[in-house]
A and B are shown apart, each in its own frame.
Chain A
Amino acid sequence: MELRRDVFQAIADPTRRAILNLLALQAMTPGAIAEQFDSSRQTISKHIQILTECELLKQQQNGREIHYHLNPQKMKEIADFIEPFRKMWEERFNKLEAVMKNYKSKK
């Protein structure tokens, strides 16, 4: 499915967001992640798969176990996505403040 590769679709799901929050603290095995949820292990495994396909998660093989951890680079891309918009408002508001201070001092 094409949509699945869209990182914004991936993080739109509350369970997947919860998984990202968990992994922000530490790398975890799929089993340990699944224990945190009421959903079936298969459901959680599917969510992990989607997050991995979107490169939000990375796998790390430790002996017989696989640990998942966040991919900070990809997480940053998401943050960067709203940054230009925020910056536009920041610049506008800086201007507003300067214009109104000037107006105030003239009064």
Chain B
Amino acid sequence: MELKTKLTAESGKQDIKITREFDLPVELLFLAHTNPELFEQWMSHEYGTTRVVSMEAKRHGSWRFQTVDAQGNVLFQANGVFHEFIPNQQITRTFEMDNTPFEVQLEFLEFEKLDEDRSRLSMHIIYRTGELRDQLLKNPFAQGLNMAHNRLQAIIGKLK
């Protein structure tokens, strides 16, 4: 089976490239990244609900979101600034995880229309150093959320 989401992380480099084609018009793909309600929906999962704290969808606007568990504990929080904001074409933003030793990263998102119903997203994420990138890739907490840990908690939570 061909993988829909492709990820390239060349050894010795300090960046990652992610590409994905969607069965969605480019306008909807873009909207998913800028509309708080829709963003919350696709960034939430069974073990955490994502809440957008702020989303100033414009050049030099800032954004912040957090993921909370069923008890309302904040599991994860991230923030950043939009540096470039061209509707249906491009977002350049910073991404920083709160309360972690990881440094801010720079993200280039390119939105591409393939036809009326299909689009492609290309993400280029740049870290300060190659070591930082590798640490992040190896650290499950840094991968948006500590999935294994939180899944385990969710299962234990059900047993209680």
Which residues of A come within 8 Å of B, CB atoms? 8, 11-14, 17, 78, 81-82, 84-86, 88-101, 103-104
Contact = CB atoms under 8 A, between A and B. Distances in A.
8 contacts: A13-B12, A81-B138, A88-B143, A88-B147, A89-B18, A92-B43, A100-B24, A100-B28
A89 B5 contact: yes
The interface residues of chain A, by DSSP majority, are classed as helix
A100 B38 contact: yes
Interface in B15-35: 16, 18, 20, 22-24, 28-29, 31-32
Contacts of B29: 96, 100
B115 to A, nearest CB: 15
Q: Contact size class for B?
A: 20 to 34
Contacts, number: 79
Among A14, A81, A90, A96, residue most surrounded by chain B Cβ atoms (within 10 Å): A96
Contacts of A100: 22, 24, 28-29, 31-32, 38, 42
A90 B5 contact: yes
Contacts of A82: 7, 9, 137
